[in-house]
A = this chain, B = another copy of it.
Amino acid sequence: MSDSFQDALAGLAAIVGDKHVIASRADQEPYVVDWRGRYRGRAVAVVKPGSTAEVASVVRYCADRRLAIVPQGGNTGMCGAATPDDHAGNVVIRLDRMRAVRDVSPLANTITVEAGCILAEVQNAARDVDRYFPLSLGAEGSCQIGGNISTNAGGTAVLRYGPTRDLVLGLEAVLPDGRIFNGLRALRKDNTGYALKQLFIGAEGTLGIVTAAVLKLFSPPRSSALALVKLQGVAQALEIMQRLRGVVGDRLGSLEIMSRSQIEAIAETVPHVTIPFELTTPWYLIVELTDTLAGVDLDEPLATALADAMEAGIAKDVILASNLAQVKAIWAVRHSVSEGNKRSGYVVSHDSVVPLERQADFVTNVEARIMAAVPHARVVMHGHIGDGNIHVIALIDHAHCQEPATTAALVAQINEIVDDETAAQGGAISAEHGIGITNRVRLARVADPLDIELMRGIKRLLDPSGLMNPGKIFGAGAA
């Protein structure tokens, strides 16, 4: 290690304490590789500050020495946005020690948390005061709320509660020059100038490090009903959504869809998950209704609406969950999609969103185009009906992915197919996963050049040296 790096380690240790600076390669391992093992980078140090002031000091220290900063949450992201690149001078900042729930107000329906809080901890802190924090996703046991905010995480409750952006009332962030943006206000309305906090939400740590936030809470769902519907396709799922809205209004909680091939991939590879229904149709829709009142009978309207849909030929079969075990068994399938896909081959994953009217065509076209171009691919899909967001995933047998160059070419080919079809349908290539490293070339290819110009302008404004999470969203040399 160079002298200047030795100096940096000492300088960082002087700020956060020796034991919160990780310098050895072996100990850094969990932080320099993304959880899927796609990206591997290097770092002079992984630093764990204990307060916003320490984060600010670390950032200022790095800025003064032109060390690049990589903010990292729970390292559960889908696009490599929290993984350092392979320059040796990166400093990874983890907020694991900033995990306090600073305040919960059941009156104001707000919770104030530090960015290192695990999502499940936020959910639990809300539950403790009989409130509900709706953000819910597969990684909730290990992802951190700061990362959720920085990636504007989606998940299974967007249909009713919106993405993370809609759940953030206030936030605090350390800017690339070490100054602290203090927007940590528990205010439901604020029209005092430009919406600065919005810049940090979904910016993937390229404009600063989110250190704390005030989040919205809700009345908890106290009644619910769940069914699994077997059906022919996405068009039928949308028709069922329409019918349910007519019958239950805004009580639609989740509408999650999976293709038969998606469920088969899970059945074949995830031994601890049993598929609690027979696979007899091309698509499977999980319908969950919720009400914030206890004792509301949602089973009856759900059963009636779905029976009507069967009679009309829209649903092929309906399984109503009659107990909690059944509910859990059905959700277990949905929550195993990432694991099942990872075990089934090399995953070329997409996150397109299109207008709802285009969703059925999108799915049909994109599958046909991938299969025509890459006959050995296996296309599986799952997604969020009502959001317009379907994850199209091409699983490639590892035998076809031995050579990095071949794999890269294959991935690029499939990405272009999906992106072109997404553009043709008026959509966007990332609904909830973000850009990170994975999608920066794709974004540059499909985005309006004006959008990129404005984004680069904002990046330069906040981070003129380009040291804050370099190489993410824009690719290298953004600033």
Contact = CB atoms under 8 A, between A and B. Distances in A.
Interface in A147-199: 151-152, 154, 158, 162-163, 165-166, 175, 179-183, 185-196, 198-199
A108 B355 contact: yes
A165 B188 CA distance: 12
A248 interface: yes
A450 interface: yes
Interface of A is mostly: loop
Interface in A225-257: 238, 241-242, 245, 248-251
Contacts of A429: 192
Contacts of A218: 250
Interface residues of A, number: 85
A107 interface: yes
A318 interface: no
B187 A427 contact: yes
Contact of A107 (B108, B151, B242): B242
A429 B187 CA distance: 11
Given A108-B357, A443-B193, A250 B188 contact: no
A457 B461 contact: yes
Contact of A450 (B162, B179, B434, B459): B179
Given A108-B356, A450-B179, A193 B455 contact: yes
27 contacts: A108-B356, A108-B388, A110-B355, A152-B191, A154-B191, A181-B451, A181-B454, A185-B427, A187-B355, A188-B388, A190-B353, A190-B431, A192-B429, A192-B430, A193-B447, A193-B473, A194-B207, A194-B454, A194-B458, A195-B198, A198-B199, A218-B250, A222-B249, A248-B292, A248-B293, A251-B293, A461-B461
8 closest cross-chain pairs (CB), A and B: A249-B292, A189-B431, A108-B356, A198-B198, A186-B355, A219-B249, A191-B430, A190-B428
